Amino acid sequence: MLLSHITLTTGHLSVHRLDTLDREAVAICRALLPTGGGPVPGFPAFRVEIHGPIFTIYRGREPLVSCGMGRGRDATWASLCALDEQFRAMLGASQPIVPPPAGPWLAVAILPPLALIVNSDAAWIGDFERCLAAAILLP
């Protein structure tokens, strides 16, 4: 399955084959689903809350990114775009939000507290987003 991974704030888009992701990482993420999230394995200062097709990654009490999955212009896309719009100017984003990609997508709204964490803490977040999306989408 192909998944378009788009960062709404920047417009950055990459396409991933979910069957090529590390199966162990996806299995670890799948263990978070029945409880609606919890501590991010391997990163004890971080946690994730999962609400249907939307999940938010936190460092402590600070939300860093909100992510959602869907197809086309649906309610999840609208919710994430509205959230992103609240913080675009604060984050210095100038380009308009792009239309949803064709096919399944994982969209990410960057939240202001992400700017306060060090790069080494942020480097794994995109990989985690993809693995959690795969855990939710794949059987």
pLDDT reported for residue 96: 66
For helices 125-137 and 23-30, what crossing angle results, to 10°? 70
Q: Compute the distance between CA of residue 29 and CA of residue 41 in angstroms, rounded to an integer.
A: 8
Measured CA to CA in angstroms, residue 11 lies from 6, 30, 44, 48, 124 at distances of 6, 28, 30, 23, 19
Q: Where are the beta strands (DSSP E) in the chain?
A: 2-7, 13-17, 37-40, 43-51, 54-59, 62-71, 104-110
Contacts (Cβ under 8 Å, ≥6 apart) of 138: 1, 18, 19, 26
Q: What is the pLDDT of residues 95-131, one digit of tens each?
A: 767 899 989 999 999 999 998 899 888 889 999 999 9
**Band of residue 86 on the pLDDT scale cut at 50, 70, 90:** confident
Q: In which band, very low, low, confident or very high, does the pLDDT at 89 lie, cut at 50, 70 and 90?
A: confident
Model confidence over 52-79: pLDDT tens digits? 999 999 999 999 999 999 999 999 999 9
Residue 45, classed as helix, strand or coil, is strand
Indicate whether this model's pTM tops 0.95: no
Q: Say what the pLDDT of residue 124 is.
A: 94
Q: What local confidence, expressed as pLDDT, does residue 102 receive?
A: 87
Per-residue pLDDT reduced to its tens digit, 20-45: 999 999 999 999 999 999 999 999 99
Domain limits, the chain: 2-137
Q: How far is CA 103 from CA 49, 116, 121, 137, in A?
A: 25, 33, 31, 13
Each residue's pLDDT tens digit, 7-21: 998 889 999 999 999
Mean pLDDT of the chain: 92
